[in-house]
C-alpha cells in the first residue's frame, strides 16, 4: 500500500489529487491542513468512498519550523513515504502587500518559506530511504516578476529555485522531485479574479500533477500551454515588457 502525504490537503487542487490517487489504488493517505474541521470532513468523505484506504489527518502549523520537523518525523516513523505533495499557499492582494509589510511577510512565508521547510524535512527522510516522489506546487507567477503579483511571484520563484537544487541533489538517487507550475486555476482562492471561464479547473490541474508525479517529470506546467506562454514572457526584452500592463 502506497504511503502518500498531502500538505495543504484542503486546497481544491490537493483534494482532487487525493481523489485521483485513491481511485487508482487503496493507499495510506495522510492529510495535513491548518483547518482541522475542513480536513476532517474531507477525510470522512474519502473514507466513505474508499473504505480500503487508511486515511489520517494532521493539524498543520505552517509557521513553526520545529513543529514541521516533528510532524514529518511522526509521519515517516510508521513507514517510508512514497509520494509527498506540498500544496498549501495563499494568493495575497499585491497592493495590500505593498502597503503593509506584515502582509508581505506572511505572503512570502506561506507561499515560499513554509513549503520549502516541509520539503526539506521530507527530503531528509527520502534520502535515507533511497526512494520517493516529492512534488511542490509553484506557479507560473514565479517565472518572471510582474507588477501585478510580484510578492506572490517572488515566493513561487523561491520554490522553483529550491526545486531545481533539490533535483540536482537527488539526480543520482531514487528520489524524484517534481515542480508544478499551474496557470490561473478556478478555485476558491481565485474566485475574486476575472476570467473564471478561461481558467483551468482544479480537476484538470490535479490530473497533470498525478501524471507528472508518476513519470517523475521535473517540471509540470498545468495546463501545458503555459510552458509556451511563459517562455514568451520570460524572453521579452525589458523595453517591451515594461510597457505591458500585466
| pLDDT at residue 79 in the model | 87
Full pLDDT tens readout for the chain, 246 residues: 999 999 999 999 999 999 999 999 999 999 999 999 999 999 999 999 999 999 999 999 999 999 999 999 999 998 899 999 999 999 999 999 999 999 999 999 999 999 999 999 999 999 999 999 999 999 999 999 999 999 999 999 999 999 999 999 999 999 999 999 999 987 777 766 666 667 889 999 999 999 999 999 999 999 999 999 999 999 999 999 999 999
CATH superfamily, domain at 2-241: NAD(P)-binding Rossmann-like Domain (3.40.50.720)
SS (H, E, C) the chain: CEEEEEECCCCHHHHHHHHHHHHHCCEEEEEEECCHHHHHHHHHHHHHHCCCCEEEEEECCCCCHHHHHHHHHHHHHHCCCCEEEECCCCCCCHHHHHHCHHHHHHHHHHHHHHHHHHHHHHHHHHHHHCCEEEEEECCHHHCCCCCCCHHHHHHHHHHHHHHHHHHHHCCCCCEEEEEEEECCEECHHHCCCCCHHHCEEHHHHHHHHHHHHHHCCCEEEECCHHHHHHHHHHHCCHHHHCCCCC
Give the global pTM.
0.95
Amino acid at each position: 500500500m502506497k504511503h502518500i502525504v498531502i500538505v495543504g490537503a484542503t486546497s481544491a487542487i490537493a483534494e482532487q489529487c487525493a481523489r485521483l490517487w485513491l481511485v487508482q489504488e487503496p493507499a495510506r493517505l495522510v492529510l495535513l491542513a491548518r483547518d482541522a474541521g475542513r480536513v476532517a470532513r474531507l477525510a470522512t468523505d474519502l473514507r466513505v468512498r474508499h473504505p480500503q484506504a487508511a486515511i489520517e489527518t494532521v493539524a498543520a502549523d505552517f509557521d513553526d519550523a520545529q513543529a514541521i520537523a516533528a510532524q514529518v518525523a511522526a509521519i515517516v516513523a510508521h513507514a517510508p513515504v512514497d509520494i509527498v505533495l506540498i500544496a498549501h499557499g495563499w494568493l495575497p492582494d499585491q497592493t495590500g502587500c505593498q502597503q503593509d509589510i506584515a502582509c508581505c511577510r506572511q505572503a512570502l512565508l506561506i507561499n515560499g518559506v513554509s513549503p520549502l521547510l516541509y520539503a526539506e524535512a521530507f527530503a531528509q527522510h527520502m534520502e535515507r530511504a533511497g526512494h520517493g516522489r516529492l512534488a511542490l506546487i509553484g506557479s507560473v507567477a514565479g517565472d518572471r516578476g510582474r507588477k501585478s503579483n510580484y510578492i506572490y511571484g517572488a515566493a513561487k520563484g523561491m520554490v522553483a529555485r529550491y526545486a531545481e537544487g533539490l533535483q540536482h541533489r537527488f539526480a543520482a538517487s531514487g528520489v524524484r522531485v517534481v515542480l508544478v507550475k499551474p496557470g490561473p486555476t478556478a478555485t476558491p482562492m481565485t474566485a475574486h479574479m476575472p476570467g473564471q471561464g478561461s481558467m483551468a479547473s482544479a480537476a484538470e490541474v490535479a490530473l497533470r500533477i498525478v501524471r507528472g508525479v508518476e513519470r517523475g517529470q521535473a517540471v509540470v506546467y498545468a495546463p501545458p500551454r503555459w510552458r509556451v506562454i511563459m517562455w514568451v514572457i520570460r524572453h521579452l526584452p525589458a523595453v517591451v515588457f515594461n510597457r505591458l500592463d500585466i
